[in-house]
Amino acid sequence: MEGNGPAVLLIHGTGGSYEGTWGNLRNTLAPDFTVITPNYSGSGKTQDSRERLELDDLIEQNVQAVTQEGFTRFHVVGYSLGAVIATAIAAKYPERVQSVTPIAGWVESDLAIAYQFDLWQKLFRQDRELFAQFAIHTGFSSTFYSSFQTVEQLHEFTANLAATLAEGTGKQAELDTRINLRPLLGKVTAPAQVIGLTYDRMVPVEQTRELAALLPDARYHEIASGHLVLWEQEAELIDTIVSFVRAIRALPPK
């Protein structure tokens, strides 16, 4: 926990951690907000001994991370699987959530998404560096590759990513195959800002646009990036998130 003011809960994605995902956003928000950045089961230093993860477990872990700090209401921002969790929290706890910002989220794991995350599990079990190479190959737009000069530089980047992967990546990817938010979306009452990524090959942007269309009070913003937006277009992402959360905070209480 860091900062002062209203609470903002930041939820990372599959294979990630708060340390590797939210450092710059946390620092930007901290002067005006109390930023709470938990790692969920299997990420960071957390341990997870269950056979498989359930969405409800991750909902409760993240909500408890806020309430145990004494906050009853909060803003929530989530990326990828974290976007799914954030949206589900807003549906399950509408009286607590002041705003929700899902980044690269999706409504339901169709066959293509389920097939992709099934492959993630197999690659992660077999070879973490191979998994990281596949994630980089599908995670960036073609424009991003211009920042590299050689394949060797990409391999070095891959090795660095592989070294940071969460131990729980496989279980988290398995949960990704089973997502279905359709029954929940109508229960979200908080204002939402849904952020889609134009060149996303992990969660196709059409899926994120559908999420925005189905939320009762949502605005939509799209960033010209692949899925790994925190590397590719972090400055625009941070500006978009912070502007929205500040605007909602400035509204008179209902």
Q: What is the pLDDT of residues 128-173, one digit of tens each?
A: 999 999 999 999 999 998 889 999 999 999 999 999 898 889 999 9
- The predicted pLDDT at position 178 comes to 98
Kindly indicate the confidence band of residue 63, based on its pLDDT and cuts at 50, 70 and 90. very high
User: What are residue 212's phi and psi, to 5 degrees?
Assistant: -65, -40
Least confident of 82-96, 140-154, 236-250: 140-154
- The predicted pLDDT at position 41 comes to 66
Average pLDDT in the 13-23 region?
88
In whole angstroms, give the CA distance from residue 104 to residue 28: 21
- The predicted pLDDT at position 20 comes to 85
Structural domain includes residue 172: no
pLDDT score of 101 more than 90: yes
Structural domain includes residue 41: yes
Domain of residue 146, residue span: 112-164
Average pLDDT in the 172-194 region?
98
Q: Give per-residue pLDDT as tens, 19-48.
A: 889 989 999 999 999 999 998 866 756 666
**Pair (137, 99) in one structural domain:** no
Give the mean pLDDT of the chain. 94
pLDDT score of 198 more than 90: yes
Structural domain includes residue 74: yes
Residue 4: name the closest of 26, 40, 43, 30 by CA.
Answer: 30
**Pair (121, 102) in one structural domain:** no
35 Cβ partners below 8 Å, 6+ apart? Answer: 1, 2, 3, 7, 8, 10, 22, 26, 29
How many structural domains does the chain have? 2
Structural domain includes residue 170: no
Structural domain includes residue 173: no
Q: Are 101 and 212 in contact (CB under 8 A)?
A: no
- The predicted pLDDT at position 52 comes to 86
User: What are residue 87's phi and psi, to 5 degrees?
Assistant: -65, -40
**Pair (230, 203) in one structural domain:** yes
**Pair (57, 71) in one structural domain:** yes
**Pair (81, 191) in one structural domain:** yes
**Which position has the higher pLDDT, 243 or 149?**
243
Structural domain includes residue 36: yes
Question: Residue 54's Cα: distance from chain center in Å?
Answer: 16
pLDDT score of 84 more than 80: yes
Structural domain includes residue 185: yes
pTM: 0.95
